[in-house]
Amino acid sequence: MNLNATALTARLLGVALLLSVPACTVGPDYVRPEIPASAAFRELTGPYKGSPSLAANWWSVFQDGELNALEAAALKANLDLRAALARVGQARALSDIANAGFWPALSANPSLTRNRSSDTIAPPSRTQTSYAVPLELSYELDVWGRVRRLSESADEATKYSASEFAVVLQTVEANVAQNYFNLRGLDTQAAMLTKSLALYQHQVELVSKQVKAGLVPKTDLLQAMTQVEATAGQLSEVQRQRINIEHALAVLTGRAPVELSIPAKPLTTIVPIVPAGLPSELLGRRPDVAAAEHQLIAANADIGQAKANYYPRLTLTGSAGFATIDASKVVSWESRVWSIGPSLNIPLFQGGKLDASLEGAKQRYEESLAGYRTAVLNALRETEDILNDLSNRAGAAESQARMVASARETARLVEMQYRSGLTPYYQLMDAQRTLLSAELAAAQIQNLRLNSTVSLVKAIGGGWNADDQPKLEAK
């Protein structure tokens, strides 16, 4: 038989074996669990009704150029994103390893062996050198779907990793936006405190002159000085918090704290309205829910793989090449050798290993199922909580605005009365302190509303699509 005939025989034998055994995939096929979801969010109010339409750069709805720049810097250099992307790469590599099982394994194993026979076994002894240049082929016939289930599980693990990357991406983007608004909120408070501090210092000067002139008691001066120091302490605390947030933004954008300095600017951003959509839409937009489902699908495939281990494993093996003891005939036609044949591995007794593996796979599925349902419920709860926050904080902002206007008018009237000698100084101090407290609270509520809007974008899966592939700029 020549070499071409040998190769043809090997191919025909392989095809015959494949056709003679009906392939099947054991184990359960995945069916998405039913999760009860209401027709609409309970806390949904008029402005937030409708389907959200958010681009990948969802932060642009705030119309703030500095925020846009910080987000771009984070996408380019954030280290948590780079670590998450590396995990996606690892999962893809493992998936490629699993998918390699669909293909025959071919290897070349050239060898040179020198040996001496024993005089006591087959005299006279001989010393000779053997040369071999074989190609070896091995291919598992996936009769029961073991390799298919292994591949399915690995592919879902890759999708899980990609969804986890999206979770990290959303978290980084949201943290940048929320820290930025916190920074600007503190800038607003610092501006209010600085203005009030200048006013109080001016009052100390006026009251000091009045005390010297004997027009007011010294206690008025002490009260004015106390108000100055209390306000200065508040300003120092606000400045401390701002510096720490600036440090956090530096790390989020992949820089050392010393490398980032953001000029102060009061918060002027208007709170945008982001429609929340429906609960049924939410489950398809959240990457953490998608990650939990991919984990569940992988666990389901693992059950099939564990069941396939109960069945015989059929493998085709073949070898062809040259073997000789004459170095000059290593690749000579007369030195050709070949072999081909199937092998069957039948699990007869494993000491309970197969049963334990199957039971472990089933329990991992149950764990993943609970995790998936928890992810769904948490997604619904988070969205309901944030809608509740936005609705009530909008009302609080309106009330606080009226309170600021009332406190400002009160402070103006009390100051007029004090200058006319109709009221004591402590009443003026109380009125001014109430006004400052109301203004600071209004700034804090505005910041909270912006933060809640960012949280809503994240809760409804803004900026992420299940078909997107993780990408990150090289640096």
Summarised one tens digit per residue, pLDDT across range 186-198 is: 999 999 999 999 9
**Contact by Cβ (8 Å): 27, 305:** yes
Q: DSSP code of 29?
A: P
Contact 365, 407 (CB under 8 A): no
181 burial (CB, 10 Å; 0-12 / 13-18 / 19+) is buried
Q: pLDDT tens digit string along 323-352?
A: 777 777 777 788 788 888 788 888 888 889
CA 290: distance to chain centroid? 11
Query: Distances in Å between the alpha carbon of 97 and those of 4, 139, 144, 154, 313?
Result: 32, 15, 19, 9, 19
Of all helices (H) and strands (E), which one includes residue 64?
A: none
Among 66-80, 141-155, 206-220, 324-338, name the most confident range: 66-80
DSSP 405-453: HHHHHHHHHHHHHHHTTSS-HHHHHHHHHHHHHHHHHHHHHHHHHHHHH
Q: Which residues lie closer than 8 Å to 450 by C-beta, 6 or more apart?
A: 62, 181, 185, 267, 269, 271
pLDDT at 343: 82
pTM value? Answer: 0.84
Which class does domain 27-103+143-311+353-459 fall in?
mainly alpha
Rg, C-alpha atoms of the chain: 37
Q: What is the pLDDT of residues 228-256, one digit of tens each?
A: 999 999 999 999 999 999 999 999 999 99
Is there a contact between 52 and 275 (Cβ–Cβ < 8 Å)?
yes
Find residue 343's DSSP bridge partners: 315
- Predicted confidence (pLDDT) at residue 38 exceeds the cutoff of 70: yes
Alpha-helical (H) ranges within 253-347 are: 279-285, 287-308
91-142 confidence digits (pLDDT tens): 999 898 888 888 888 888 888 888 877 777 767 777 888 878 788 888 888 8
Please report the pLDDT score of residue 469 as a whole number.
59
Helix (H) / strand (E) containing 116? strand 111-116
Report H helices in 309-352: none
Query: Tell me: the pLDDT tens digits for 366-416?
Result: 999 999 999 999 999 999 999 999 999 999 999 999 999 999 999 999 999
Residue (of 384, 378, 387) closest to 449 by Cα position = 387
Residues 6 or more apart whose Cβ sits within 8 Å of residue 475? 76, 77, 254
